[in-house]
Amino acid sequence: MPIYTPPLRDMQFVMHELLNVTADLRAMPVHADIDADTISAVLEEGGKFASEVLLPLNVSGDEEGCSIDQSTHAVTTPKGFKEAYAKYVEGGWPALACDPDFGGQGLPLIVNQCFYEMMNSANQAWTMYPGLTHGAYAALHTHGTDAQKKTYLPKMVSGEWTGTMCLTEPHCGTDLGLMRTKAEPQADGTYKLTGNKIFISAGEHDVAENIIHLVLARLPDAPPGIKGVSLFIVPKFNVNADGTLGARNGIYCGGLEHKMGIHGNSTAQIVLDGAVGTLVGQPNKGMQGMFVMMNAARLGVGNQSLGLTEVAFQNALAYAKDRIQMRSLSGPKAKDKPADPIIVHPDVRKMLLTAKAYAEGGRALLCFCSMLLEKELNATDEQVRKESAELLALLTPIAKAFVTDNGWTATSACLQVFGGHGYIKEWGMEQFVRDARINMIYEGTNTIQSLDLLGRKVLGNNGATLKKFGKLVGALVAEEGVNEKMAEFITPIAILGEQMTKFTTEIGFKAFQNADEVGAAAVDYLRVAGHLVYGYFWARMAQVALRQIAAGNTDPFYVAKLQTARFYFAKLFPETASLMRSARAGCKVLMDSDAALA
């Protein structure tokens, strides 16, 4: 069975040495009393829950999967999942970063971020049951009425009820303007919803007593397209005025998808047959509420791949140290053995370091995004809230697409380290690869994220927000530009930062002439932007490590961080050159291809 050790030391490094989160948090009244010891204590216990409760269920959950009783539409999760969820609720984990007004513990979002990374490493399929609830909670907390919040949020915060997002339909994926689910107004102010949804993660299960579905549907007089979509609360069991559960609602699971991975999570086909729902927000403005959940989910999906990257790396590293095959090209290293451990071979090290660099870079980015969201919600300075929201909007598609693309690369590389054994189920590596593949697809495919980044977040405001991130890079370059020890980290990001302006302008100019140029360049563009972001964080991590070493700190952690930074800039960051060349090739070779694709 795969192993997993929670990366608490690196999490502490990112939070307290790289980002100095306690200073920012304590400037906010809601977190005035927070301290590093509290954060560390919570995450240490969270790591135990992940490694001791969830990890043992990952392989068995994948093998068993979920089952449905077609006569009752009831779904049963794999053995042990329900019991693990009960321990999760008993430990108060659902309430970690939720509003105390609704029973939450009010801890910072970054604590929840790190806790969920560990759970995703241990068991992504299980973690998706409570994970989607946080997005539904956020949407209702922002857009729900006082009555809706009072009815639903305390039970969702406690974990007694879970939540889902019901968007996709059989004939439409990301293009939600094509949806057909109908909502008919009733005399009592409720609505009757009829339609079909597919690919609904955790859409039906037995781990909690009620499921609160957030459903997109159309009112009878709705305008066409995305501007005619409304958002509704549709519970599995109707809720009585006193908060107790009432009759079974007309929403049920019509079937389960047979998937490549995440077998332990119930990906449901949902049927709405006159289901009772209540409107969230204004009619035909449903995407406002759903975007709160979708953006939370996009960060959450990036976190899923971060978790898988970390656990795949840990297992591949352990295997590479133990497995002996052939001799080192530079001469035997384990002379007392018939062959050397494969970790002596350069390309094995390249695969391991790729996973390590992508894991630690992704952790820095996602923790930074958590702090941006915290500032957007809780900073006392309105300008700080505004700028944090803008920067988070820019980084969200990168956090989703770049981290998940890298997760696929990393888990595949880690499987390769195992050779033929990686392809065999008993080692667990092939499950990490299968589970990671969905993360590039859902919550908006990575191409959709790329179009969002380039078309909306960059060209949509003439690069204004991108320039704000550029200022962070510029400040680091100005601070360390004359430091010879930092040159190998500073020079690459300084050059790319300058290139990004010209690169973006070129694509924007082409797009004015032919909009397909955006579609042709977007995926390459996002990876270039992703490397600029990772490069910035890796340069800062190298800066911290160098300062600690210079101060006489002999902890090998800092040497390891420095070595990983050097690998990232030498072997991964140079991908940007080929990506920019590919993007500049334009759309002609793609669109003038009718004969090739006939």
Token pair for residue 192? 């009757």
- The pLDDT, as a whole number, for residue 293 is 85
pLDDT digits (tens, 9 = 90+) for 517-576: 999 999 999 999 999 999 999 999 999 999 999 999 999 999 999 999 999 999 999 999
**DSSP 3-state of 167:** coil
**DSSP 3-state of 515:** coil
Give CA–CA dist 133/312, Å, rounded: 26
pLDDT digits (tens, 9 = 90+) for 165-196: 999 999 888 888 889 999 999 999 999 999 99
**Average pLDDT of 385-394?**
97
Which residue, among 261, 572, 556, has the nearest Cα to 410 in the 3D structure?
A: 572
pLDDT digits (tens, 9 = 90+) for 56-108: 999 999 999 999 999 999 999 999 999 999 999 999 999 999 999 999 999 99
Query: Taking 90 as the threshold, does the pLDDT of residue 34 lie above it?
Result: yes
- The pLDDT, as a whole number, for residue 60 is 98
Give CA–CA dist 230/216, Å, rounded: 6
- The pLDDT, as a whole number, for residue 421 is 97
DSSP symbols for 32-83: TT--HHHHHHHHHHHHHIIIIIIGGGHHHHHHH--EEETTTTEEEPPTTHHH
DSSP symbols for 446-507: HHHHHHIIIIIIIGGGTTHHHHHHHHHHHHHHHHHTT-GGGHHHHHHHHHHHHHHHHHHHHH
What's the maximum distance between 2 C-alpha atoms anywhere in the chain?
A: 84
Residue 217 near residue 183, CB atoms below 8 Å: yes
Which residue, among 171, 156, 443, 186, has the nearest Cα to 293 in the 3D structure?
A: 443
Mean pLDDT (the chain) is 97
Catalytic sites, residue numbers: 443
Give CA–CA dist 396/394, Å, rounded: 6
Q: Kindly provide the b/e burial profile for residues 13-38, where b requires at least 16 CB atoms within 10 angstroms of the residue's own CB.
A: bbbebbbebbebbeebebbeebeeee
- The pLDDT, as a whole number, for residue 177 is 82
Residue 161 near residue 152, CB atoms below 8 Å: yes
- The pLDDT, as a whole number, for residue 290 is 82
pLDDT digits (tens, 9 = 90+) for 397-439: 999 999 999 999 999 999 999 999 999 999 999 999 999 999 9
Who contacts 152 (Cβ-Cβ below 8 Å, separation ≥6)?
A: 140, 144, 161, 212, 233, 235, 239
Query: Taking 90 as the threshold, does the pLDDT of residue 1 lie above it?
Result: no
**Average pLDDT of 318-335?**
96
- The pLDDT, as a whole number, for residue 176 is 81
Banded pLDDT at 369 (limits 50, 70, 90): very high
Banded pLDDT at 491 (limits 50, 70, 90): very high
Give CA–CA dist 303/534, Å, rounded: 15
- The pLDDT, as a whole number, for residue 578 is 98
DSSP 8-state symbol, 223: P
pLDDT digits (tens, 9 = 90+) for 235-276: 999 999 999 999 999 999 999 999 999 999 999 999 999 999
Banded pLDDT at 289 (limits 50, 70, 90): confident
Give CA–CA dist 279/333, Å, rounded: 68
Token pair for residue 182? 């109908």
Token pair for residue 94? 């659902």
Residue 255 near residue 236, CB atoms below 8 Å: no
Please report how the helices 286-322 and 382-417 are oriented relative to each other, as an axis angle in degrees rounded to 10.
Answer: 40
Banded pLDDT at 52 (limits 50, 70, 90): very high
**DSSP 3-state of 345:** coil
Percent of the chain exceeding pLDDT 90 equals 96
The helix (run of H) or strand (run of E) holding residue 278 is: strand 267-280
**Average pLDDT of 379-403?**
97
Residue 220 near residue 306, CB atoms below 8 Å: no
**Average pLDDT of 25-43?**
97
Banded pLDDT at 294 (limits 50, 70, 90): confident
Name residue, tokens 């490694």: 51
Percent of the chain exceeding pLDDT 70 equals 100
Find residue 339's DSSP bridge partners: none
